[in-house]
Amino acid sequence: MRLVRFGAIGREKPGIALDGGVRKDCSAHFQDWNRDFFDGGGLARLAALVRGGARLPDVPTAERWGACVARPGKVICIGLNYSDHAAESGMAVPGEPVVFMKAANTVVGPYDAVLIPRTSVKTDWEVELGVVIGRTARYLGSLDEADAVIGGYCVSNDVSERAFQLERGGQWTKGKSCDTFNPLGPWLSTTDEVPDPQALAMRLDVNGQRRQTGNTRTMVFTVRHIVHYLSQFMTLEAGDLISTGTPPGVGLGQKPPVFLAPGDVMELEIAGLGIQRQRCEAA
């Protein structure tokens, strides 16, 4: 299944996407694609509803696409998780996952504007595979157990302000947590639709020019490894988002570096998970 959310900001409703771009409204049956939905066996109930041929109304095509899941409790990010991206950043391949947090209110719809922060001169793009936790878990005992708590996969744009992140002291948080800095979606593909999350082609274009090309097979740490690893340090709550790192081609790695400005347009895609498109605007 492909889970979507639609409607005005702050009033999104849950739905599913079918082949051909048709969206169906599920709000008569579910409140939202949120923690309660995932932890309460919602994915199984939704699958049974769809298999049973429930008559779901169409979503008007003009309706805004929201983030594919409700605001997560946590947004956990993995840095330097592609060896070729670490090389372009001039950093060593890490021996353990590099973990940092991003504010949950950065999550916006896949076609919403990205706001360039005031005083920003180094706002950057990062196409990433997003992983949504489907069941609250801690201290997972194996990689197979990690697989079992994954709810699905989506496209995540880990927008970053590099001067805030790297030149202003402290941790990376303030360069990662600006408003609108995590477009998510257009849909969440459940795990049955993604046979191998380590074989997904990725790309990102800026103003029609290809900037990032990669594949999840070159991750340093696999998705299941990351989920298992994180569970040893914190409770992973249903609906949490993990952004698993970016392939090479970020603006900071260009020669010379290239960064986003108001009017620029990003388009990013992961095979089978859909296409995002954002226009940059001044905050």
Within this chain, do residues 44 and 83 fall inside the same structural domain, yes or no? Answer: no
Residue whose C-alpha is closest to residue 228's, from 157, 138, 167: 138
| Region class of 38: left (phi > 0), else alpha (psi between -120 and 50), else beta | alpha
Domain that holds residue 9: 2-51
Task: Domain count for the chain, please give it.
Answer: 2
CA–CA separation, 139 vs 233, rounded Å? 8
- Please give the Cα distance from 153 to 132 (Å, whole number): 6
> For the whole model, what pTM was predicted?
0.96
The pLDDT of residue 45: 97
20 and 128 inside one domain: no
Residue 96 inside a domain? The answer is: yes
**Local confidence band at 169 (pLDDT 50, 70, 90 cut-offs):** confident
pLDDT at 170 over 90: no
| Same domain for 261 and 211 | yes
> Is the same domain home to 161 and 265?
yes
The number of residues making up the chain comes to 283
- Mean pLDDT over residues 173-199, rounded? 98
Q: Residue 153: pLDDT above 90? A: yes
- Which residues neighbour 50 within 8 Å (Cβ) at sequence distance 6 or greater? 1, 16
- Using the Cα atoms of residue 112, residue 118, residue 124 and residue 126 in order, give the sign of their dihedral: negative
CATH at residue 174 = 3.90.850.10
What is the reported pLDDT for 252? 94
Q: Which residues of 184-232 form beta strands (DSSP E)?
A: 188-190, 201-206, 209-215
